[in-house]
Amino acid sequence: MQKKLITMAVAGALAAPAVALAQVEVYGTIHMSLNNMKYSEPNQAVAPGVGSVSKWDVASHASNVGIRARESLGGGLSAWAQVESNASMERSNNVAHTSNFASRNSAVGLQGGWGNVFLGQWTTPWADLDALWAIGNVATYGPVTSIIGRRETTGAAPNLNCANAGSGVAAPPSCDSVEAAGGVGHPFWRRISNSLHYQSPVFSGLQIKAAYQTNQDKAVAPAGIAQDPSMYSVSVSWAGMGGRARIGAAFDSHKDFTSVGNSDSGFRVTGGYNFGFLDLGFAYEQMTYKAALNDCDATQMGIALAIPIGQGAIRASYSQADDIDGTFNGAGTCGTAGTGDNGAKQYNIGYDYRFSKRTTVGIGYAMIKNDPFAGFTWSGLSSQQTGASVTPIAGSDVTILFTSMIHRF
């Protein structure tokens, strides 16, 4: 990715003859697609009389603008900072499309021969492993954050003292949407805030990452529900054979997220191998959510491929989410609707063409086939049949025919 580099003095012109210099980098990605999308008829037991709907949509796919700064401190030590924000690129009443400042990977840190340590908001070591296998996407209509790493509805650090799914609710007490309670489980793909991160140097292709999200939302009774939420994420990855082979594993533990006194956990393995004429990737993950009286177990898996053709590639993926195993506190299964048949399958295929290192165009088709009591989807889509939500009504399949364009600067 080509960047615009600006050199600026960080010491005042009047401070001293020797001026420390910091390198400041302005960068961004604008990623848009034109979609013809359809929601099929949902489960009539859930939404009787509701039919299918087909519509056109222009969507922004994690478009962003950021600033990075780095300063050499001598002795192989550097200080750095990054602030990255969403660029929604479309007007919408959906709050998920807002462009909050520093809403993406943003942190300050120190880096040396011993590794990289930083504080802020960042993707987890768990989520970073997607880079090893997710080579089958055109645009973002693929398995990552739709099937893989995403299960149920809660945010990055569910707060059991919040009784809403977003801000702006006067009573009962409201919290930001990334803290509000919202059912069993949470998407493991989310970045975490209020967090400490460490990334080791790469030794013979091997790297270790670790992150800890602090318990800033700790609460004690009788002022509220006694809760002490925190989490950690660790991963180890390896790349070798000239970068053709790669594999990684991660483990997460999320304390007091689904129920007080228990820790949800997850384990995943991702990887791939590039044969030259074909690049293959795979992912397998299991999550265990701790309800008050039992466990709720979720399993997801996926495969991906990329076949280079000229300056582009054919890309395709298949992924599936199995039904969640277990009963939720003895009152129905662990699924969102309190019943089984809550899994899904996702298919996508397309071709993207890279005009340069900065500009890529693509075309493709993608589908999520939801079970009768599932509502998986991709982020940032247009609303479903009711016009009030982007989450499909249970049992409604989502299909998209799209063309996309990416420009990096």
pLDDT digit string, tens, across residues 259-275: 888 898 999 999 999 99
What is the pLDDT at residue 164? 45
Q: What is the pLDDT of residues 330-352, one digit of tens each?
A: 555 565 555 678 899 999 999 99
Least confidently predicted of 180-194, 242-256, 315-329, 379-393 = 180-194
- pLDDT for 215 beyond 50: yes
Sequence-distant (≥ 6) Cβ neighbours of residue 102 within 8 angstroms? 83, 84, 85, 121
Determine the average pLDDT of the residues in 154-169: 53
**Residue 52 Rama label (left phi>0; alpha psi -120 to 50; beta):** beta
User: Once rounded to an integer, what is the mean pLDDT over residues 386-398?
Assistant: 89
Residue 218 confidence (pLDDT): 87
Start-to-end CA distance of the chain, whole Å, equals 7
Chain centre distance of CA 101: 18
Query: Taking Cα atoms as reference points, which of 390, 280, 300 lies closest to residue 345?
Result: 300
Residue linked to tokens 């420390």: 20
The closest of 75, 76, 67, 64 to 6, measured between CA atoms, is 67
pLDDT band, very low/low/confident/very high, at 278 (cuts 50, 70, 90): very high
Greater confidence, 225 or 302? 302
pLDDT of 310 higher than 50: yes
According to DSSP, the residues that pair with 300 across neighbouring strands are: 285, 321
pTM of the model: 0.86
- Burial class (CB within 10 angstroms; exposed 0-12, middle 13-18, buried 19+) of 248: buried
Tokens of 362: 């693509």
Residue 96: its pLDDT value, please?
Answer: 46
Mean pLDDT (the chain, rounded): 84
What pLDDT was estimated at residue 3?
47
Task: Tell which wins on pLDDT, 352 or 14.
Answer: 352
3-state secondary structure the chain: CCCEEEEEECCCCCCCCCCCEEEEEEEEEEEEEEEEEEECCCCCCCCCCCCCEEEEEEEECCCEEEEEEEEEEECCEEEEEEEEEECCCCCCCCHHHCCCCCCCCEEEEEEECCEEEEEEEECCHHHHHHHHCCCCCCCCCCCECCCECCCCCCCCCCECCCCCCCCCCCCCCCCCCCCECCCCCCCCCCCEEEEEEEECCCECCEEEEEEEECCCCCECCCCCCCECCEEEEEEEEEEECCCCEEEEEEEEEEECCCCCCCEEEEEEEEEEEECCCCEEEEEEEEEEEECCCCEEEEEEEEEEEEEEECCEEEEEEEEEECCCECECCCCCECCCCCCCCCCEEEEEEEEEEECCCCEEEEEEEEEEEECCCCCCCCCCCCCCCCCCCCCCCCCCCEEEEEEEEEEEC
| Percent of the chain whose predicted confidence (pLDDT) is above 70 | 81
The residue that leads in pLDDT, 287 or 18, is 287
Q: Where are the domains of the chain?
A: 4-408
Structure tokens at 349: 């295929």
Return the CATH class of domain 4-408. mainly beta
